Amino acid sequence: MASLHHSSAVKAAKVLMVGAGGIGCELLKTLALSGFQDIHIIDMDTIEVSNLNRQFLFRQSHVGQSKAMVARDAVLRFRPNISITPYHANVKDSDFNVEFFKQFNVVLNGLDNLEARRHVNRLCLAAEVPLVESGTTGFLGQVTVHAKGKTECYECQPKPAPKTYPVCTITSTPSKFVHCIVWAKDLLFAKLFGDKNQENDLNVRSSDASNSPENGEDVFERRDNENIEQYGRRIYDHVFGYNIEVALSNQETWKNRNRPKPIYSRDVLPGKLNHQNGNVDKSCATDDLSSVSTMASLGLKNPQDVWSLAENTRVFLESLKLFFASREKEIGNLSFDKDDQLAVEFVTAAANIRAASFGIPLHSLFEAKGIAGNIVHAVATTNAVVAGLIVIEAIKVLKKDIDNYRMTYCLEHPSKKMLLMPVEPFEPNKSCCVCSKSPLSLEINTHHSKLRDFVEKIVKAELGMNSPIIMHGVTLLYEVGDDLEEDMIANYTANLEKVLSELPSSVIGGTMLTVEDLQQELTCNIYIKHREEFDEEKEPDGMVLSGWTQAPLEKKDDNKKLVGNGGSTSTALPTEGQKEVELVEISEETEISGKKRKQPGISGDETNNHNEIQKLDVVDDGEDDLVILDQCDIDKKKKKRLQ
């Protein structure tokens, strides 16, 4: 009888899948094979070569095509009688509003970024449609169920922000290889091959007369009658030699740090650059510019080998030569792409040379690519396991079997002899501003910060609103929309450039602002607290949002137990985490839903996992930038007074 109910619930269900990547491909296949008859898929991405090792619905011939469309066609080949509706679009488009979401019985997420997840969470809350959320990273994974008013929503617990580094750390005092990668990718690569007019700290003038500050010459501009090898060596000597000498001239910086070593090309490669496979033109004779490779040109075979300083220097100079020989038309408009082989080779070499200068261990191209693309290399089996768990929870949702909802965590190492750790869902967090409408407070200098700062850093970045309306009492301070008249747009644009205290309805300490997103049907009240000083390193935005806190500590509830294989009653609970542990600062203790738990180590030591497991806020195919650079001056005091 239960089986019959299960079957009818599945066949009658209308399901929305968001994401057709690593998890999404496995999920669509599993839904089709489990009897689901009406499936809708939203994905804005097209298929890339790097997807093919784990997204098994796709083939080489599909590269460049819509993921949602191709996934549909692939599944219909073995389940031709079901309905699959693909949307090659962004889930944040206005077409996918609350009314659109209301038509579905359950929403299944296989997304790869926090912003889209938050957006879907809010639409599901507004439409009162249950959401099954998921994520994987390597061998780790998670599946969680979110039902309005019955379990916590996806945003009930604040998600750890990506680790940020001040510009001064990246440009002057790197101590980790990731710092060198960011320098090579976001500064050097961008300066050489991106917008030539962008300003960054690499553009220090050399001390020779022909390149003096008085001469006003841009170091990165190629000179007349300068061949590409001369240009490459001059850039090399400038960024790895002269700039390091400039940094060493500041004695205070190196009192408690290891001093870097300037590196000049003549010391590493005294003679001319020779590449193994003939001249540049031959190595570039291909219509597929993304396949141009320095490794092929130099005869380097294994991307997991760690190159010597001399090899990195050869790769650096040869990569530069290949860009100008085969892709000169693109120079000025390029941005780093982890699927661009030549770009990855250049960034790997540049990062390694800088690492050698600062005494940091060198890394292979394989490792560097993972860091530069913010990639934890995907494991197809984890995606398949997580997809199966999503379908199990979806069936429970359709049967309204709320007592048996589970948040399940995939572990890399056994805990209590289990690799899958099911946990009862937590109750909604009463201080969550998304599902519990709890007010927030914002500390900000109202005499210094502009409305634009508030919109970009708080409303969009922190609150994740796409089309915000900001009100002070009955006064509308800001609004976006296609139906606005020109005079209103001009008025709101002017408001963006005004400091808060000088707005038409002055925003000062004690003001309560109302921020609303009509598409998400979300409203937040924000209490403004004026504050003069901020710690530049710890509070680089010059504002602090609070009130969106973890649930308060309550008396231990022995009814909240893990339910595992063999009926384990361990009360071990997962903690908030992040996919790149090296890049994230996580507090030693976290209080969530009345439970106090410590951050576990992710290692082979079972004792580390025995009483605690990792709760992951992770993605399948990490595409986000690794680091956000915050401006700072190495010589400034940490405290500054905002004027």
Residue 81 has pLDDT above 80, yes or no: yes
**Residue type (1 letter), 182:** V
DSSP structure class, residue 335 = -
CA distances from 524 to 160, 429, 438, 629 (A): 21, 15, 8, 28
Fold of the domain spanning 8-158+377-423: Rossmann fold (3.40.50)
Distance CA 477, CA 481 (A): 14
Give bridge partners of residue 598 from the DSSP assignment.
589
Listed in sequence order, the residues at least 6 apart from 334 whose beta carbon sits closer than 8 Å to its beta carbon are 189, 193, 194, 327, 343
Helices (H) and strands (E) in the chain, counts: 20, 22
CB 339 within 8 A of CB 290: yes
**pLDDT range class, residue 573, cuts 50, 70, 90:** very low
CB 167 within 8 A of CB 631: yes
Long-range contacts of 208-215 (CB under 8 A, 24+ apart): none
Distance CA 44, CA 293 (A): 29
Find the mean pLDDT for residues 334-349: 91
Residue 426 has pLDDT above 70, yes or no: yes
CB 202 within 8 A of CB 244: no
Helix axes 309-326, 341-357, angle to 10 degrees: 140
Distance CA 568, CA 561 (A): 9
**How confident is the model at residue 454, as a pLDDT?**
94
Q: Which CATH number fits domain 175-359: 3.40.50.20, 3.40.50.2300, 1.10.10.520, 3.20.19.10?
A: 1.10.10.520
Q: What percent of the chain has pLDDT over 90?
A: 51
CB 130 within 8 A of CB 397: yes
Read off the pTM.
Answer: 0.66
Distance CA 151, CA 143 (A): 14
Distance CA 255, CA 248 (A): 11
Element (H, E) at 29: helix 22-33
DSSP structure class, residue 46 = B
CA distances from 335 to 35, 184, 195, 635 (A): 44, 12, 9, 30
CB 507 within 8 A of CB 472: yes
> pLDDT tens digit string along 291-318?
688 999 899 989 999 999 999 999 999 9
CA distances from 345 to 83, 127, 328, 602 (A): 44, 47, 17, 30
Residue 553 has pLDDT above 50, yes or no: no
In the chain, ranges of CATH 3.10.290.20 domains? 440-546
The alpha carbon dihedral of 373, 376, 380, 386 has a sign of: negative
Residue with tokens 């962004």: 90
**How confident is the model at residue 592, as a pLDDT?**
29
Listed in sequence order, the residues at least 6 apart from 100 whose beta carbon sits closer than 8 Å to its beta carbon are none
Q: What are the two backbone dihedrals, phi and then psi, of residue 531, each rounded to the nearest 5 degrees?
A: -145, 135
In the chain, ranges of CATH 1.10.10.520 domains? 175-359
65: its two tokens: 């095509």
Residue 433: name the closest of 329, 330, 343, 520 by CA: 520
**How confident is the model at residue 575, as a pLDDT?**
32
Residue 245 has pLDDT above 50, yes or no: yes
Listed in sequence order, the residues at least 6 apart from 426 whose beta carbon sits closer than 8 Å to its beta carbon are 151, 152, 156, 551, 560, 592, 593
**How confident is the model at residue 170, as a pLDDT?**
82
Q: What CATH class does 440-546 carry?
A: alpha beta
**How confident is the model at residue 614, as a pLDDT?**
39
Find the mean pLDDT for residues 315-329: 92
CB 410 within 8 A of CB 386: yes
**How confident is the model at residue 199, as a pLDDT?**
61
Strands 522-530 and 512-517: antiparallel
Residue 593: name the closest of 607, 576, 577 by CA: 576
CA distances from 449 to 245, 435, 454, 457, 528 (A): 37, 29, 7, 11, 12
Cα–chain-centroid distance for residue 223? 38
Higher pLDDT, 71 or 487: 71
For the ranges 45-54, 214-223, 410-419, 496-505, the one whose mean pLDDT is highest: 496-505
Find the mean pLDDT for residues 154-178: 77
**How confident is the model at residue 257, as a pLDDT?**
81
SS3 253: helix
> pLDDT tens digit string along 95-130?
999 999 999 999 999 987 788 999 999 999 999 999
Listed in sequence order, the residues at least 6 apart from 65 whose beta carbon sits closer than 8 Å to its beta carbon are 46, 47
Residue 6 has pLDDT above 90, yes or no: no
Question: How far separated are the first and last CA of the chain, in Å rounded?
Answer: 72
Strands 140-146 and 131-137: antiparallel
The length of the chain is 643
CB 98 within 8 A of CB 129: no
Is 168 one of the annotated active-site residues of the chain? yes
SS3 235: helix
Find the mean pLDDT for residues 215-236: 84
Task: Write down the mean pLDDT value for the chain.
Answer: 80
Q: What are the two backbone dihedrals, phi and then psi, of residue 465, each rounded to the nearest 5 degrees?
A: -85, 145
**Residue type (1 letter), 467:** S
Higher pLDDT, 481 or 510: 510
**In the chain, what is the greatest distance between 2 CA atoms, to the nearest angstrom?**
89
CB 172 within 8 A of CB 247: yes
Q: Which residues of 363-378 are buried (b: 16+ CB within 10 A; e: fewer)?
A: bbbebbbbbbbbbbeb
Higher pLDDT, 483 or 396: 396
Find the mean pLDDT for residues 81-94: 94
Count CB-CB contacts under 10 A for residue 359: 12
Distance CA 389, CA 392 (A): 5
DSSP structure class, residue 562 = B
Distance CA 445, CA 528 (A): 9
Residue 45 has pLDDT above 60, yes or no: yes
**How confident is the model at residue 235, as a pLDDT?**
94
349: its two tokens: 């070499």
**Which of 86-100, 174-188, 264-278, 489-503 has the weakest average pLDDT?**
264-278
Listed in sequence order, the residues at least 6 apart from 494 whose beta carbon sits closer than 8 Å to its beta carbon are none
In the chain, ranges of CATH 3.40.50.720 domains? 8-158+377-423
Residue 437 has pLDDT above 90, yes or no: no
The alpha carbon dihedral of 602, 604, 608, 611 has a sign of: positive
List 25, 124, 153, 168, catalytic entry: 168
**How confident is the model at residue 167, as a pLDDT?**
67
